[in-house]
Structures are given as C-alpha cells and as structure tokens.
A and B are shown apart, each in its own frame.
Chain A
Amino acid sequence: MRAYLDNAATTRVAPEVIERMGIFFSTAYANASSLHAQGMEAKRALDEARAAIAAMINASPEEIIFTGGGSESNNLALKGVAFLQKEKRHIITSAIEHPSILGTCAFLEKQGFSVTYLPVGREGFVSAGDVESAITDQTALVSIMHANNEIGTIQDLDRIGKACAAKGVPFHTDAVQSFTKAPIDVTRMGLSLVSLASHKIHGPKGVGALYVRKGMRLQKQIHGGHQENDRRAGTENLPGIAGFAHAASLQTPEHITKMAELRDYTITEIERRIPDVIVNGSRARRLCNNVNVIFKYIEGEALLFTLSQKGIAISTGSACSSRSLRPSHVLRAIGLPHEVAHGSCRVSISRYTTKQEIDYFLDTVTAVVAQLREVSPFTKMGKYEAYTDDDHTHEGHPAA
C-alpha cells in the first residue's frame, strides 16, 4: 500500500483540471495578446480565470496578476513595494515565514533595508499588538503569512490587518497554504497584497497569482510586454492559469470538513497509540489538512526514510533532512529546542486522502517509532533534554 501524506509540499492535479487544461494545449492555444479571433478566445478564457480567482478573495479581476507561482508572487510583493521606496526602508515580517519571504527579506537587507522579524508564541501566532508596536514612520510593508506551511497555524489576519490600517501601512499575506482551505477576504482583512499558488490546491505547478489592491504601486520585476496590466511581462500561461482557476473552484466545504475530520482522527490516534509525543501548532486555528507532531527520542530523517520504504510520504523539519543541517526555523521559533525539533513529522492530507491511507500510516508509524526508539539511547535514560548541556559541539561538525 502507498499513502501520499505530503500535500503541503504539492498535490495531485485533479482529473477535472487536467481535462480543462487540455484544450489550451490542443485547440485554444493562441496568444491572449493577439488580436485575431483565436487570440480573443484565449483572452476571454484568461479574463474568466482572473474573475474566478478574484471572486474567491473578494477582489476585482483587475487586481489579480498571474505569476509563475507562490515564490514569484512573494518576491514580486516584497521587491515590488520595496524598490519604489525612497524614504521608507523598513519591512516587518515574522520568524516563521516561507523561505521565499525570508530569502527575499535577507536580500533586501543587503540592499539597505531593515527588517523586523516578529517572534511567535508556542502555537505559532504573531501578535497584532507586536505588529502595531513594530510599525514606525519608516515602515513600507508588513508581510505576515496566513497559514503556516509546517505547523498549520492560521493567523488572525483581521486583527493584524486592523493594526496595519490604523498606521496606514500596506499589508501583504502569503496565503499559499490557506487558499481554498480558510476564508480570505481582502477587504475585511485590510490586505493590499496576497500571494496564491496553484499546485497546493490540485492545480498545475508553475502558476500562481498576486492580488494587488487598486491604487497600490508596484515595481515590476519582469520587464518586456504589457501583459498582466503591465505588471508582469511574458505570454500568459493560459493552460496553467485556466487549470489554477478551475482547481480553485472545485474545493467544497464538504472537502474541508472531511479533511478536518481526518486531521483530528490522525492527531487523536497518534496521541493514543504513541507515548512521548508533542503536537505542534494550534488545535483551534489550524489548517484543515495539517498534522505536525514530534516523536521524542528519534530523528526525523530516519523516520522519513523508514516510512518511505513502506510507501508512505511525509516530511520532517529535522536538520539532517536539510542541506543547511539546521532544524526547521519554524520549530525553533515556536520554542522547541534543537534536539526535540529533530524528531518532527508533518502529515498533510488532501481531499483525496482516504481513511485507509491514514490507518495504514498510523499502524506503520506506531511500529516504526517503536523500532527507532529501540535503537535510541535516550528512551531508557529518561529526560534526553538533560544531555544538551553536556557539550554543544563535537569534533567534525561544521560550526553552526
């Protein structure tokens, strides 16, 4: 049996989406910028997709820019705002953002911007009060993600949006994980910019969108033609865009309820079957498809590979699974010590996930955790946290 439980990484493209995309490869393949009838047809399909995406976040169609994905949307939002600034050279974000936000912020710091990385609490929440007090007259943008990709915590964007509005600072959110899973309302949440991506919602890879509030100025990042309201050059990826919009339309409230039930079942059963487990993130405000747990005394990469050999796909925030050899910045930001963060396991489900797959995962992970704990020196010695004060470096390790 196989179980794909890594839907926060990417998802299966829905069969309906593949079918919808097909015509834009085979017959309706004209360039949407062309003036002939075929071009006009393509333009109509593009307009329809734009209107569909806009409607889902309470925006107007002309406020949607299609991009090459979530990372591009995040880059365009931050650099697009930053590069227009003459005086305001300060950006506020959080410690748990996606690498495409943190990486762009690090780049902007090198360009002379200052960036405030707000801390989060144990459940991963950014405080609206912290946002408000971090805003200065130099602040050009606040960027706080909607739902976290690792621990699933959904921020209170209404309150953060109010804090930004009170100080007149534009507010961006990376809603790549939450789109179609948690409501987004750009007006109610006071959002000026929103990043979206297709491949997390059973759409194709390589396409996303950025909502840009009317009147918001943005420095374009890809120069060339006048596509996308003159904000992003390049022939529109119509198969991808149409597929993205169609994928967004397929998610129903029943799907969300089903995923949330499987999520709760997974968490409850893990806690019931396996001792010494920590559940990360918030139980109350959590993405409907996210489970993130720590299995104490074992290391996540070892768990990932063992499950993988049994056909199960999950992910881990362990350092050993990353090229940097550092554990997940999100798990560190919620206050987990390194040695505990090494044992994290993220299960992310989709509307296609079955109870059989979850049961197979639960049976397998229960056995695998026990097997790895057999090999671990810490289980019998009680508190392994005690070992951290011992010696913080060892020979052969690259300096952290």
Chain B
Amino acid sequence: MYSRKVMEHFASPHNVGEIPDADGVGKVGNPVCGDVMFVYIKVKDGRLEDVRFKTFGCVSAIATSSMVTDLAKGKTLAEAERITRDDVADALEGLPPIKMHCSNLAADALHAAIEDYKKKRKGSAG
C-alpha cells in the first residue's frame, strides 16, 4: 500500500525534534482527526538553516513530515513557500489516494512556520 520511500522515511524519519529557540513554529491538524504536525524553523540570511518536526499521526503523516524537512532545509524562504503537498507526495514516490488529503499536511505546516516567522519579524521590526 505504501511506497518504499514512504516506509523508509516512516521507519527512520529525518529531522525529528523541536527547536527550542525556533524562529517560526507551524502547527496543523487536530488529534481528533488523527494527525497533528508541528514544524520548527531556524532562519539565517533568508534561508532555512534548520527544519525539525514532531508529528502525531499515521505512516504517511510521519513520512510526509520527514520529507518536507528534507525538501525545505537550505532553501530560501521564497523557495520553501513554493513547496506544495504534491511535491512532498511526489518525492515520496506517491501516497495512497485516501491519504493524499488527510495525511499530507506537512507542506501546510512548513508554510505556517514561515508565516509565523514573518509575523514575528514584522512584530519586532515594527
């Protein structure tokens, strides 16, 4: 049912953890639905220096979280904002159709973290 890539990322997820002094935090999902993702970012010179995650959820929720951190790390904010759910699914060699919508929220969590970073910066600048 799952691709080899999904199972790889699920079994040994990359970049698990929190960043205590994160520049931005994004949270999506709800435990009622069975998926909650937190993405933490550290920004340096307009690039994502570090991206970490913590996820409560199924195989694809964990695998997409892991993949999105890989895709985003080292990218500029603008590049990271262009990462879509489909990019994450494609990089994982596909997700089962039923999981495409419900457990493919990692890109949203990344975007939420970037938004949080921008909001905070605006706040401190203004």
Contact = CB atoms under 8 A, between A and B. Distances in A.
Contacts of A382: none
A291 interface: no
Nearest to B85: A396
B contact patch SS = mixed
Interface in B85-122: 85, 98-99, 101-105, 108
Contact of B34 (A306, A338, A387, A392): A338
B55 A323 contact: no
Contacts of B99: 320
Contact of B102 (A298, A318, A325, A342): A325
A388 B34 contact: no
A318 B58 contact: yes
B5 interface: no
Interface string B1-43: 0100001001101001000000000001111111111100000
A372 to B, nearest CB: 8
A376 to B, nearest CB: 5
Contacts of A133: none
B56 A394 contact: no
A244 interface: no
Contacts of B85: 396
A387 B104 contact: no
Contacts of B98: 323, 325
A309 B11 contact: yes
Given A302-B62, A325-B102, A395-B108, A378 B31 contact: yes
B75 interface: no
A396 B105 contact: yes
Interface in A318-345: 318-321, 323, 325, 327, 337-339, 342
Query: Is chain A's interface secondary structure helix, strand, loop, or mixed overall?
Result: loop
A375 B34 contact: no
Contacts, number: 105
Interface size grouping (class) on chain A = 35 or more
B105 A378 contact: no
A390 B30 CA distance: 8
B54 interface: yes
A254 interface: no
Given A299-B57, A302-B59, A384-B56, A394 B31 contact: no
A330 to B, nearest CB: 17
Contact of A388 (B16, B31, B38, B62): B31
A301 B56 contact: no
A305 B57 CA distance: 12
Task: Indicate the size class of the contact surface on chain B.
Answer: 20 to 34
A318 B58 CA distance: 9
A395 B35 CA distance: 12
Contact of A298 (B30, B56, B101): B56
Nearest to B37: A377
A302 B33 contact: no
Contacts of B102: 320, 325, 396-398
B105 A375 contact: no
Interface string B45-74: 000000000111111011000000000000
A374 B55 CA distance: 9
Contacts of B35: 299, 320
A374 B16 contact: yes
Interface of A: 297-299, 301-302, 305-306, 309, 318-321, 323, 325, 327, 337-339, 342, 374-378, 384, 387-388, 390-398, 400
Interface of B: 2, 7, 10-11, 13, 16, 28-38, 54-59, 61-62, 85, 98-99, 101-105, 108
16 contacts: A299-B34, A299-B61, A302-B10, A305-B2, A338-B34, A339-B34, A376-B56, A377-B38, A391-B30, A392-B30, A394-B33, A395-B108, A396-B102, A396-B108, A397-B102, A400-B33
